[in-house]
């Protein structure tokens, strides 16, 4: 096993998460990994956008949970998704197989999760009809987008753990790469994050957070 992960934990909803050895932070909330992902990214992001064809940028592929749940919900409601996801430190198969998603997720979602995790890096891969993923093994602070996105899942480690990801330069890059009417969702409601998002041009909406967290943010490019 490589050095990305210290150990794994079972969260309050029964789904598991990992602890990053590099950042000393969990990949998901201990109040519920699946609950957090569904609430912040799928429900407040994908479902709120209300489009039948969506191009998504995810900052932080991590365990692949957001991708799997997005693919599953897209299948259920008939949304075609092109999904670009960045990760500088990919988990090894040995590491992501520590997670219990194959047992905790519905069978279809579990299969989508394994397919997304096993997908090759650096190329478009069709996980199933209607969901194509491109996993990008690059430093987000150096990466430059080449397409426009309707929806952004900003799921980097917290600002205190990974401050270089949350600066004005990075959010400006995202803003410029988003289509008009695009939406960004993130779990962080830190004051500096809100100010930076507003400074680069986003309009903010504070929403109820997932279990264990009072609030989350949804930001719009008008």
DSSP 8-state class, residue 90? P
Neighbouring residues of 68: CB distance < 8 A, sequence distance ≥ 6: 101, 105, 109, 110, 112, 113, 116
Give me the pLDDT at residue 184, please: 98
Residues composing the chain? 222
> pLDDT tens for residues 55-108?
999 999 999 999 999 999 999 999 999 999 999 999 999 999 999 999 999 999
Q: Band the pLDDT of 32: cuts 50, 70, 90.
A: very high
Helix axes 191-200, 168-177, angle to 10 degrees: 50
* CA 222/CA 209 separation, integer angstroms: 23
| Among 165, 4, 20, 161, CA closest to 86 | 165
Contact 75, 163 (CB under 8 A): no
pTM for this predicted structure: 0.96
What value does the mean pLDDT take over residues 133-138? 98
Q: What angle do CA 172, 177, 181 make, to 5 degrees?
A: 100
Six token digits for residue 154: 């900003």
Per-residue confidence (pLDDT) for residue 3, from 0 to 100: 65
Q: What is the pLDDT of residues 106-132, one digit of tens each?
A: 999 999 999 999 999 999 999 999 999
Domain ranges for the chain, please list them: 32-220
H or E, element range at 59: strand 53-59
Convert the pLDDT of each residue in 141-193 to its tens digit: 999 999 999 999 999 999 999 999 999 999 999 999 999 999 999 999 999 99
How far CA 180 is from CA of 38, 150, 157, 176, 199, in Å, comes to: 24, 8, 27, 10, 17
Position 194 confidence tier, pLDDT thresholds 50, 70, 90? very high
Residue 1 pLDDT > 50: no
Going by CATH, does the domain composed of 32-220 fall within 3.40.50.150? Answer: yes
């Amino acid at each position: 096993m490589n050095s990305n992960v210290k150990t794994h934990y079972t969260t309050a909803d029964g789904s598991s998460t990992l602890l990053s050895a590099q950042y000393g932070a969990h990949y998901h909330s201990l109040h519920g990994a699946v609950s957090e992902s569904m609430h912040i990214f799928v429900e407040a992001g994908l479902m709120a956008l209300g489009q039948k064809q969506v191009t998504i940028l995810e900052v932080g592929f991590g365990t692949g949970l957001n991708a799997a749940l997005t693919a599953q919900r897209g299948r259920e409601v008939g949304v075609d998704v092109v999904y670009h996801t960045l990760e500088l430190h990919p988990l090894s198969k040995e590491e992501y197989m520590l997670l219990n998603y194959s047992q905790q997720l519905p069978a279809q979602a579990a299969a989508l999760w394994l397919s997304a995790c096993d997908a090759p890096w650096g190329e478009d891969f069709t996980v199933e009809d209607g969901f194509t993923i491109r996993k990008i093994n690059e430093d987000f602070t150096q990466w430059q987008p080449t397409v426009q996105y309707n929806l952004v899942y900003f799921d980097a480690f917290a600002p205190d753990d990974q401050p270089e990801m949350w600066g004005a330069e990075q959010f400006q890059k995202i803003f410029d790469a988003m289509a008009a009417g695009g939406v960004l969702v993130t779990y962080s409601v830190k004051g500096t994050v809100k100010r930076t998002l507003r400074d680069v041009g986003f309009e903010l909406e504070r929403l109820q957070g997932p279990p264990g967290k009072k609030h989350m943010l949804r930001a719009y490019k008008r």
